Structure 1
Amino acid sequence: MKIALVGNPNTGKSTLFNSLTGLNQKIGNFPGITVDKKTGHCKLSNGQQVEVIDLPGCYSLYPKSKDEAIVLEVLTNPKNSSYPDLIVVVVDATNLKRNLLLFTQVADLKIPVILALNMTDAARKEKIVVDIDKMSQKLGVQVVPISARKNENIELLKQSIADAPAIALQKESIAVNGIAPELIAQIKNDIKVKQDYVALLLAHQHEILDYLTDDESNHIESLEQVNAFHSEKSQTRETIERYDFISRVLNDTVTQLPKNIADTPTGKIDKFLTHKVWGFVSFIAILLLIFQAIFAWAEYPMGLIENFFAWLDEWGRHYVPEGVLADLIFDGILAGLGGVLVFIPQIAILFGFIAILEDTGYMARITFLMDRIMRKVGLNGKSVVPMIGGLACAVPSIMAARNIESWKDRIITIMVTPLISCAARLPVYTLLISLVVPNDKLWGFFNLQGLALMAMYLIGTIGAVVVAWVMKKIIKSKERSYFILELPVYRTPRWRSVFLTMYEKVKTFVLQVGKVIIAMSIVLWVLATYGPPGRMDAIEEKYQSATYSDKFAPEEIEYMVSSEKLENSYVGILGRTIEPVIRPLGFDWKIGIALITSFAAREVFVGTMATIYSVAEPEEDTSTIRQKMLNARDTITGEPVYTVATAFSLMIFYAFAMQCISTVAVVYRETKSWKWPVIQLSYMTALAYFASLIVYQVLK
């Protein structure tokens, strides 16, 4: 049995989905389209297992975006793999008049429906009283009052799903066939649809429905012309009739004391958090808290992970015989994985804070605040949503830009979103900051490492805004853009959902990055272990001579052999080839190798450095990657490789460079042209190189 959750944005639909499914869920894409499809399984009170589908949030069945179009596509096509046996329409009990518009449309599709009145706890606080039984009689459906956040009546909802009839019993809200009776009858007959309202929706939306063939779409178009059908007038009439019906239902079933939004807790908080001055001050303060926490709270669990991998290396070498296989496992795979997985606590903390900001309703306020800045650089608030999403990953954020109606705004958003520092850059930043920034407090409170991390995120954001302003001047378009945003009421975060989000994001990071790291580590280890025939043998003979054996201890000779072999390996030759180009930035050939490999994914930088330094060190050296990088010396000058100048030059390079092949691929897919990804790759590489050059030359 398939259950679809349908509702407006900010009604708690996804929270209910998490309550029903828990960890029994997966995220994929709807067939043929890059829109998230969340599915999960739920066990009902009668023991029945059902599949739950969380459809994207939408305000009506007249979609304004691709996400909303998915809801129409699924609910009007019985052949769709996600077509439900039952729909649970989730509405906000404090905002029934607007939310019930979507319910009346869904009910007229004649699929069995349950109405879930969510946020009843908030309704009680606002003294909104709903006569549940009377509303159920008026609508002809089961009405279940719930609070998904507080898990109130979730079992009652499960029981209602188990008891739901297999046929639709809901009462009609309007006389659908009275709007365009001849057209509806012809579409039902010719396209073979059963319901009047489905036929009317096909008349309105046939151009965007992928399951209709070109012949069917053209036939509907011809029927509209024959019947002089005017889509906009028809929609207006339908909407007015629906709101008349909703008003009659609410007048009979809901008692509510009049309220002034300014006097509510949300209104009072917004006076401060959306203020043109104090709003930005509070936003900066929240960012400070987040970046302080990323370092302070993650320190202990990161130490445990480092110690675990050091113990694993030492224990493994004790039991695995020396040889090629042991070197591959410990110097290649284990070193690469350990170098990246140590950052799991920091990534979990970052995603945890993002989930809290979304769950409380504050993320919408950030969008509202940033709209003022975005307009000055030629964008609007809708561009902020992908850019904020860029803190997690640029790939889904670029996909989210398809909701921007203006072509110019959408292209500029796609072009600048990768400049926002994503979670993949976090391991690079935190590793390099820990090498050169002392773990001291400023004014006894602010951690210097946290401030440095926040500065890197701000630099990426400022870079995105500046580039957007430049592109606004270059790209010409006469389209006007608009931005409509709903600010949800403030709520306490639902900690179960927050931890579920953290778990999902960390699991995705480990599985996706783990595959890349293992593959890159194996390739790197092979290239770093082997070189052109004759070179490695010559190095062995060189250090076996009396010239070296008389002057140096065996441990020193072993280190010199490892270092020289690495330089003469295939990866060393590649690194030496590109070194003259990157030397002005303060980078040696080892960093050059990491720049090349991390084009697969930015966080591969850390795994690459771990593998290269593990190959270069004697086998008994089990120190962490941070310790190895701290001890690294320039073979020419003898100075430390990772000075303040080099570390910040490298961080600036990663802040601006397009070090992610997945992003290039998704930009091509979204723009349907190689022109934009090539321009993006070129300008970001040039920006990264020259910004890095300036930083190094100034700081050195």
Structure 2
Amino acid sequence: MAKDLKIALVGNPNTGKSTLFNLLTGLNQKIGNFPGITVDKKVGYCKLADGKVAEIIDLPGTYSLYPKSKDESIVFQVLADKTNSSYPDVIVLVADATNLRRNLLLYSQVADLDVPMVLALNMTDMAKKEGIDINVNMLAERLGIQVVAISARSKTGLKELKQAIENTTKIATQAKGADILALAPEAIQEVKARLKTDNDYYAMQVLHQHQHLDIFDQEAHAAFEKIKKAHDFETSKLQAAETIARYRHLGTVLSGVIEDTGAAKKFAFSDKIDAILTNKFWGFLIFIGILFFIFNSIFSWSTYPMEMIEAGFMKLTELGHSYLPEGILTNLFLDGVLAGLGGVIVFIPQIAILFAFISILEDTGYMARVTFMMDKIMRKFGLSGKSVVPMIGSLACAVPSIMSARNIESWKDRIITIMVAPLVSCSARLPVYTLLIGLVVPEKMVWGFINLQGLTLMGMYLISIVAAVLVAFVMKFIIKAKEKSYFIMELPVYRMPRWGNVLYTMYEKSKTFVFEAGKVIIAISIILWVLASYGPSDRFARIDKKYDLIEAKKDSVQISTLERDKAAEKLEHSYAGLLGQTIEPVIKPLGFDWKIGIALITSFAAREAFVGTMATIYSVDGGDEAVGTIRDKMRAAVNPDTGLPVFTFATAFSLMLFYAFAMQCMSTVAVVFRETKSWKWPLIQLSYMTAMAYVASLIAYQLLK
């Protein structure tokens, strides 16, 4: 899309920057990567009042231009390099109006880079409720730039912000708060001469973090290091001196600008809530109670919509068999594509409910409190508090959670987090768990208000979290590193969840689940149907001949039974059947038959493919349950050797443990390779998780059978 203006959104974490980005761009946005690195680049487009099209880049949140993670280093890389494809014409610095002094530290640093800028004071409505009154005109006069009061949550001030962006052509003209040249005069002058720039702060920042900038060659990096050494340029001391000078100046700038009449009341209210929610005893009890409620709701609230979806797919299958002409294409569509797709779509209600709760917990600020509570516990097991964010995020999906581990400063903590994050049960495992729990766990209430199936589901999630923590504890002693980690985190203020955002998250995640998983499921279903419907011609010919001879001597009722037996025998001798039987001796001690073996193989592409595979396999299998829900088909499955149901409690629990621990996801393997830039770590991860899955399943089945 052609653009007339390039705008960069810059700001601290938790300032509503991403919310503003979504409001300005709507659905007209895309996610890619910054050149040469794996950090996400969010870009969108917005039409301004004068008809110009603005390209808006949402830069990662950072507290200052001094990076403490890969994500944060991107901000200076973009703003310092005029040849960078993301270098902006205008910067919109988003500041939290309820904590303006801290937010303006980043403003003062960015202003020193001499890029035209607008200051967007976000959450001004919340500031007023908390008794904070900001004189916007006085602040604009003192900073020398346009300042706009907005509220991204209530969608106010957006028109004024767009007008300010259109009219912004000048850089901040007032003093920024630190005499940069006085901090290291000789070193800065040498760098300025080398770079042919007159910007003191750019020169000093290049000395601080040239190693992060790809615009310089090895000779330049060596020259900068030589300058630092020659003039005793110490990053930590100079950074501290600069920060103190900036805060001293900001105190003068904000004098008379902010009138805060509600600070004591605001903090008293927040402290009262935190005293309970982050309490060592009550905090954990409340967290466990919330988990109970969530998993109970996943089963209880999704029952009716799931039954409606199942009934819809059953009706479609019946109509298909009644009205479509018999043949290969009809069988492929009904028993392959439709059966596999139905096995995925039926779980949309549960996926939507899970993501709704995750969104609410994040939006209210409670998830940050969970991270804070878990910090001390995590440290004992070789993780930092920041590891909690990727691990909690893994409840949704391990792939973005592993990518979010970039914010962990310690290399050791980051590697351990990446290695254990996939153990935490993700939403892709949810269809597997709920399907198997629905087969073997009765739908009844415990103590009158807790759903036994929901309790079992929560147990599976807790098992996965405990396993991740224990593996991290072992890796703490195996992986060596000299650096010490630290945990700094801002607790956001409590807010009511944005219900529009919650609904949008439910829609987006459900859509992603259907389209991303659906593509894999349909592909696997088609391949699987072909493998399950065809086999070595001599074997199929012998089966046809055998049943032709038997049918000649039977009546119509017996022939119907024979058709089922014939379909089952053909499946057993098909290519899929032969593949499953090849691995059956290895998985039989776990309680799995060759049909489950096929599902284990196909679900390596995506865990949720297990459900689609079972649906396809049992549709091809034929029989009285050929048309019915996947649960009905699996419940009716009988072990031909014992005459007992295939899916007993022992088998189902063994299978759930296998999926809890096994690395059944190609995408996760790929992202671990991308993040670590080595095949060593994903191969170690794949090996230890497969071993854990096999041993846990073996023990469970042998004890429970």
TM-score (norm 2): 0.95
- How far the C-alpha of 1:563 sits from its partner, in A, is 0.6
How far, CA to CA, are the matches of 2:74 and 2:441 in structure 1? 48
> Does the CA-based 8 Å contact 2:143-2:172 persist in structure 1?
no
1:565 alignment counterpart: 570
Alignment partner, residue 233 of structure 1: 237
Counterpart of 1:34 in structure 2 is: 38
Matched, 1:582 2:604: no
Other-structure match for 2:335: 331
1:347 CA displacement: 1.1
**Residue 281 of structure 1: how far off its partner (Å):** 0.5
Equivalent in the alignment of 1:168 = 171
Counterpart secondary structure, 1:207: helix
2:371 maps to 1:367: yes
1:83-123 deviation per Cα after TM superposition (whole angstroms, max 9, x unaligned): 22211111111111111000111112221111111111221
Given that 2:394 and 2:424 are in contact with CA atoms closer than 8 Å, whether structure 1 keeps it comes out as: yes
C-alpha distance in structure 1 between counterparts of 2:173 and 2:505, whole Å = 36
Note closer, same or farther for the CA distance 1:352–1:123 as it changes in structure 2 (3 Å cut).
Answer: same
Structure 2 unaligned blocks of 5 or more: none
Residue correspondence of structure 1 range 468-483 to structure 2 within 5 A:
468-483=472-487
Assess if the C-alpha contact under 8 Å between 2:532 and 2:617 holds in 1: yes
* Aligned residue runs from structure 1 range 157-196, under 5 A: 157-162=161-166, 164-173=167-176, 174-193=178-197, 195-196=199-200
8 Å CA contact 1:108, 1:172 repeated in 2: no
Do residues 654 (structure 1) and 659 (structure 2) align? yes
Matches for 1:129-528 after TM superposition, within 5 Å: 129-162=133-166, 164-173=167-176, 174-193=178-197, 195-257=199-261, 259-260=263-264, 263-528=267-532
Show the counterpart of 1:633.
638
Contact 1:262 1:268 in 2 (8 A): no
Report whether the alignment pairs 1:55 with 2:55: no
Q: Would the alpha carbon gap of residues 156 and 303 (structure 1) be closer, same or farther in structure 2, given more than 3 Å must change?
A: farther
Superposed displacement of residue 317, structure 1:
4.2
Distance across 2 between alignment mates of 1:593 and 1:457: 25
Correspondence list, 1:594-605, <5 A: 594-605=599-610
Aligned equivalents of 2:667 and 2:122: distance in 1?
Answer: 38
Asked if the contact 2:131–2:263 (Cα under 8 Å) also holds between the matched residues in 1, the reply is no
SS of corresponding position for 1:26: strand
Please give the per-residue CA displacement for 1:272-293, whole angstroms capped at 9, x wherever unaligned. Answer: 0000000001001111111112
Partner SS, residue 587 of structure 1: coil
Residue 645 (1) aligns with residue 660 (2): no
Shift of 1:361: 0.7
Give 1:47 shift. Answer: 4.1
Contact 2:131 2:262 in 1 (8 A): no
Aligned residues: 699
Offset of 1:56 from its aligned partner?
Answer: 0.9
Per-residue CA shift, 1:453-475, capped at 9, x if unaligned?
11110010111112222222333
Partner secondary structure for residue 424 of structure 1: coil
Match of residue 4 from structure 1: 8
What is the alpha-carbon distance in structure 2 between the residues aligned to residue 255 and residue 134 of structure 1?
A: 12
CA RMSD of aligned residues (A): 2.1
Q: Secondary structure at the match of 1:5?
A: strand
Deviations 1:529-561 (A, max 9, x none): 111121111111111113674265232121111
* Alignment CA distance shift 1:51-1:319 (3 Å): farther
- What residue identity is the alignment partner of 2:336? G
The answer as to whether partners of 1:107 and 1:172 remain within 8 angstroms in 2 is no
Per-residue deviation, 1:75: 1.3
Q: Is the 8 A contact 1:566 1:572 kept in 2?
A: yes
Q: What do residues 287-320 of structure 1 show as CA deviations (whole Å, max 9, x unaligned)? A: 1111112112222222232233333333444554
CA distance change for structure 1 residues 529 and 84 in 2, over 3 Å: closer, same or farther? same
2:533 maps to which residue?
529
**Shift of the alpha carbon at 1:659?**
1.1
Match of 2:699 in 1: 694
Residue 108 (structure 1) aligned with residue 108 (structure 2): no
Counterpart position of 1:97 = 101
Give the conservation status (yes or no) of the 8 Å contact 2:565–2:623. Answer: no
Q: 1:681 corresponds to which residue?
A: 686
CA–CA separation in structure 2 for the residues paired with 1:291 and 1:124:
38
* Higher deviation after alignment, 388-397 or 30-39: 30-39
Q: Give, in angstroms, the shift of residue 619 of structure 1.
A: 10
Aligned counterparts of 1:123 and 1:317: Cα–Cα separation in 2: 63
| Partner secondary structure for residue 118 of structure 2 | strand
Are the counterparts in 2 of residues 39 and 51 from structure 1 also a CA contact under 8 Å? yes
- Counterpart CA distance in 1 for 2:199 and 2:97 is 29
CA contact (8 A) 1:15 1:497 kept: no
Aligned pairs for 1:610-621 (under 5 A) are: 610-617=615-622, 621=626
Aligned to 1:606: 611
Q: What do residues 485-504 of structure 1 show as CA deviations (whole Å, max 9, x unaligned)? A: 21111111112222222222
SS in 1 for 2:488: coil
User: What is the letter of the counterpart of residue 629 of structure 2?
Assistant: T
Give the match for residue 542 of structure 1.
546
What letter is aligned with 1:207?
A: Q
CA distance in 1, matches of 2:35, 2:290: 39
Q: Structure 1 residue 178: deviation in Å? A: 4.1
Question: What is the TM-score of this pair, normalised by structure 1?
Answer: 0.95
Deviation at 1:258, TM superposition (A): 7.1
